[in-house]
Amino acid sequence: MVFDYDLFVIGGGSGGVRAARIAAGEHGARVGLAEEDRMGGTCVIRGCVPKKLMVFASGYRAQMDDARVYGWDVAEKGFDWSTFRPRLDAELDRLEAAYRRGLENAGVTVHDARAVLEDAHTVRLSTGETFRARHILIATGGRPFLPPIAEEAGAMTSNDVFKLDALPKSILVVGGGFIACEFACILNGLGVEVTQYYRGAQILRGFDDEARGHVAELIREGGVNLHVGTDVLEMKPVDGGTWVKSTDGREKVYEKVLFATGRVPNTEGLGLEELGVELGRRGEIVVDEWSQTAVPSVYAVGDVTDRVNLTPVAIREGHAFADTVFGSKPTKAEHDLVASAVFTQPELGSVGMTEEEARDERPIEVYSTSFRPMQTLFAGRPDRVMMKLIVCAETRKVLGCHIVAPQAGEMIQLAAVAIRMGATKEDFDRTVAVHPTMAEELVTMRKPVRTA
Ligand code: NDP
């Protein structure tokens, strides 16, 4: 069979781009890639990158308040979205171009078009062209899920935040996951009056309970009007925004309503089921540990497979796929001990097991401390940092680490190295503290606060 390409990648996000670059640049494969939207995908265009820049923007208000206490004469005139937004757009343009250049430099042919599968080796583009490829990689990512009530009322998703012409005066954020909590904090920091509804008992389901409680408390202290056990019952557009009635009977008009109620894989209309590619209950592509689907020539990586939906994981999966299929180097992407950070204010950094997971499995010791960090204590702020280690009582290995603190994302990356190497509590104890820092508390917790 004659093929136009050794590999055709559908989707130019983190996973697809990495796979294409490694397959072409390092393993010499002939690679084509189709992207229907902007190159870079969710992370670069409407996710991690613009979000993090907004996190930075939103942090300055508190820093300016602190600066005054530290003796700086700071005059604050407020946040100007119209200054920030064009700079954000320009940065995303720069990154998008860099992604495209990286692909082209690796020898990948980029098609700015939507691609669908015609058979196990053929893709058809929206331009009308068809290409035959020995292997096809689906890396189409995911998109925000809106419940019908929100869709009907024209609620926003996280995609829309970056495109706002102006910041609203008030917003209701619905959801209690990564995205809802991050945007509640960002918008609050930028001066928007933020209310957040979460239907469950505590935000950030899946994270360590103590850490969740700590984050929730500080989010509230920071000014977000967070209501748990609360959901939207009715909503409709009215003059000046959206009228919302909640399950606790409250009625209020918000200028904007943002739903951050999860994401769904982009698998519709690609011709997958017709081909025999198995889809899961949420529409995700079912793959084995090599990212191979039920159709041997078709692979999938990233959020479209709904494994661990994080950019660095998609990148690992894409890289492992390229090494396995084109580099004669069978590699599986690892999905355990993946550290993550929720960029709330303060941040939550987490790696390994939660206390709840660990204690169901084996005897554990829990080391935990909460304190007011030097920098904000001096400024008179009530912020408290939390550091927690979950230790196996038998092997002494540190099973999990959870940090709620400014820069927790930076700290957890390093803790993750030690934990992946199998560090014991005694290894942490032997490590001399870096003083004065917040992170030194990780190596100075002497006594367990409880055993389980
Ligand atoms: P999550 O799955 O984390 O959270 C979805 C939230 O919406 C949950 O609180 C869920 O409640 C709630 N919810 C779901 N359906 C409804 C509904 N019909 N009505 C009301 N509430 C509902 O999704 P996100 O959208 O926040 O993020 C998607 C993924 O993106 C994350 O899981 C993460 O993998 C990734 N991400 C990572 C980031 C990072 O690394 N910093 C940042 C942003 C995203 P319940 O808990 O009850 O199910």
- Model confidence pLDDT, tens digit, residues 403-448: 999 999 999 999 999 999 999 999 999 999 999 999 999 999 999 9
Q: If you average pLDDT over residues 260-267, what whole number do you get? A: 98
Closest C-alpha to 231, from 342, 145, 147: 147
Q: If you average pLDDT over residues 195-215, what whole number do you get? A: 98
Any alpha helices (H) in 81-203, and if so which ranges? 81-105, 148-152, 158-161, 178-189
Q: If you average pLDDT over residues 244-254, what whole number do you get? A: 97
Give, in degrees to the nearest 5, the angle at Cα 362 between 393 and 398: 50
Answer for the pair 232, 377: CB distance below 8 angstroms, yes or no. Answer: no
Closest C-alpha to 343, from 14, 59, 67, 4: 59
- Model confidence pLDDT, tens digit, residues 139-170: 999 999 999 999 999 999 999 999 999 999 99
pLDDT at 77 > cutoff 90: no
Rounded to whole angstroms, the Cα distance separating 284 from 291 reads 12
**176: Cβ below 6 Å to ligand 1?**
yes
354 Cα to the center of ligand 1, angstroms: 18
pLDDT at 227 > cutoff 90: yes
Percent of the chain having pLDDT more than 90?
99
- The H-or-E segment that residue 49 falls in is helix 48-69
For each of the domains in the chain, give its residue range(s) and CATH number, in order of start. 5-142+264-326 (3.50.50.60), 148-261 (3.50.50.60), 346-451 (3.30.390.30)
Which of the residues 27, 214, 319, 435 is marked catalytic?
A: 435
Distances (CA, A) of 234 to 158, 169, 193, 253, 371: 21, 21, 21, 12, 41
Is 435 annotated in the active site? Answer: yes
**247: Cβ below 6 Å to ligand 1?**
no
Q: What is the pLDDT of residue 426?
A: 98
pLDDT at 193 > cutoff 90: yes
Q: Which of 151, 160, 199, 311 has most ligand 1 atoms within 8 Å of CB, for mutation?
A: 199
Mean residue pLDDT of the chain comes to 97
**302: Cβ below 6 Å to ligand 1?**
no
Q: What is the pLDDT of residue 358?
A: 98
310 Cα to the center of ligand 1, angstroms: 12
**177: Cβ below 6 Å to ligand 1?**
yes
Rounded to whole angstroms, the Cα distance separating 400 from 392 reads 9
Q: What is the pLDDT of residue 366?
A: 98
Q: What is the pLDDT of residue 322?
A: 98
Q: What is the pLDDT of residue 123?
A: 98
Q: Which atom belonging to ligand 1 lies closest to the Cα atom of 158?
A: 25
194 Cα to the center of ligand 1, angstroms: 18
Rounded to whole angstroms, the Cα distance separating 103 from 213 reads 43
79: tokens are 């946040």
Across the chain, how many H-helices and E-strands are there?
A: 14, 22
**259: Cβ below 6 Å to ligand 1?**
no
Answer for the pair 309, 5: CB distance below 8 angstroms, yes or no. Answer: no
Closest C-alpha to 309, from 279, 343, 272, 284: 284
Q: If you average pLDDT over residues 48-76, what whole number do you get? A: 96
pLDDT at 1 > cutoff 90: no
